[in-house]
Amino acid sequence: MQSEPTHEILNAFIDGELPPKEMERIAALLAERPDLDAWVRRREAMRADIKNAFSELVTAPPPTRLVQAVKGAPISWRWHLRQFTAPRIWAPAGTALALGLVIGIALHPGSDFASRNGQMMAQGALTAALNDQLASDGHAGPGPRVGISFRNRNGRYCRTFDAGAQSGLACHGDQGWVITLLAAHPQAESSGTYRMAGSEMPDIVRAAVSANIDGEPFDAAAEKAARGRGWK
Amino acid sequence: MEETGAVAVKHPDMDRSAEDIRVKMVQLLPRLRRFAAALTGSVADGDDLVQDTVERALKNLHQWEPGTRLDNWMFRIAKNRFIDTRRSYKRSGVIAVDVPDDTPSVTGDGARAADARLMLADALDALQKLPSEQREALVLVTIEGLSYRDAADILQIPIGTLTSRIARAREALASLAPEG
């Protein structure tokens, strides 16, 4: 005499979740027991009814606002960064992948850069942006735009920036912001205009971030706290 | 696109995978809508939950492990968001069977569309009578057709717990409907 199957077992049978031998045993039992068979059939019908009730909803095109949300909502910048920190940087044959190569940059008093004691330093609007701008505020106006902030392996605060024709990485030193990487945007060179918010950070800047970062990029709170400490 | 070209080399895989993920999410929308409507009890509230879910998923995309199932991860976000917001739904009395006019209809067949709407309203109504733990379990297995293992994984409960929730949910539904 076999034991009476529990409701759990019968439901798992309905959902096809029992091991094959057990599925066979229950099927054989139902053939002999009309009461159990009726019990199971009723719940199978209920299962099908509920699923059918939702079939119109699942075959209908989703509302535009949901499609727009998927297409337009911002993707985590940590995800973008992780995509890049995976060890796979490919350069097409013949492409120069030159770190920090900037040709013909003007180091005049009005520019964002100055040479001091053999180092390239931020100055003017770029220094102001690096000191004060919070990426979490979403800078939309003209002028340099700050991207990711983090601590490097020497314990210095570093920030990526986009300053029109160039973007790069600056780390805060004793005398101010030292430019540790500068990459040119060829499209922007002629006009010198700042690029639109939301444009991509050059991969080479990302590579510099992942090579130098200690821990995680700052979230909004950490960025604000670092500004509060004057990036020291 | 070309503006970062000369010095830095555009990573060919990067934007494509972001684009791939958005395409996959659009494909998941119908299932997410179904799941969210079943949880909240109305298509309109469900759609709000889906929008919230999508925005959170993209914002926290770094928490998703590539190679694992995107759909299960998003179902889990939807379920957690539902739990987080449930209290406010209840407080405002929004939980109600309310199938709005923009409920999908069958093309060219108004009567069938009305029937479908009624059936959906009945099903939403019946599911709302279940405790939410049972509803979540039943919906994932019965409507989404997920395995017990996947459903338990989404709900972060042992399979044994899931099995007993399914059994109790079906008994509760059976007691609502007249013996046929």
Q: Are B169 and B137 in contact (CB under 8 A)?
A: yes
Query: Which residue intervals of B8-146 are DSSP H helices?
Result: 14-40, 43-59, 70-91, 110-128, 132-138
From chain B, the residues in CB contact with A219 under 8 A are none
Residue A214 three-state SS? coil
Q: Are B170 and A11 in contact (CB under 8 A)?
A: yes
pLDDT in tens, A209-220: 888 888 878 888
Residue B67 has pLDDT above 90, yes or no: no
Q: How far is B75 from A50, CA to CA, in rounded Å?
A: 19
Give the mean model confidence (pLDDT) for residues B116-135: 90
User: How much of chain A exceeds pLDDT 70, in percent?
Assistant: 79
What pLDDT, on a 0 to 100 scale, did the predictor assign at position B4?
33
Any idea which residue has 């929004």 for tokens? B94
What pLDDT, on a 0 to 100 scale, did the predictor assign at position B109?
56
Please tell me the least confidently modeled range out of A171-175, A180-184, B107-111, B150-154. Answer: B107-111
The helix or strand, by DSSP H or E, that contains position A66, with its residue range, turns out to be: helix A64-72
Phi-psi region for residue B166, left (φ > 0), alpha (ψ -120 to 50) or beta?
alpha
Residue B97 has pLDDT above 80, yes or no: no
Q: Which of residues 55-94 of A touch B (CB under 8 A)?
A: 55-63, 65-67, 69-71, 73-76, 78-84, 88-92
What pLDDT, on a 0 to 100 scale, did the predictor assign at position A73?
87
pLDDT confidence bin for B91, thresholds 50/70/90: very low
Nearest to A183 among B8, B102, B116 (CB): B8
What pLDDT, on a 0 to 100 scale, did the predictor assign at position A85?
60
CA distance A136 to chain B (A): 13
Spatial neighbors of B94 by CB under 8 A, at least 6 apart, are B42, B45
Q: Are A178 and A133 in contact (CB under 8 A)?
A: no
Residue A99 has pLDDT above 70, yes or no: no
pTM for the structure as a whole? 0.60
Phi-psi region for residue B145, left (φ > 0), alpha (ψ -120 to 50) or beta?
left
Chain B: residue whose CA lies nearest to A162: B4
What pLDDT, on a 0 to 100 scale, did the predictor assign at position B158?
96
What pLDDT, on a 0 to 100 scale, did the predictor assign at position B8?
36
Give the mean model confidence (pLDDT) for residues B79-100: 60
Q: Does A102 touch chain B (CB under 8 A)?
A: yes
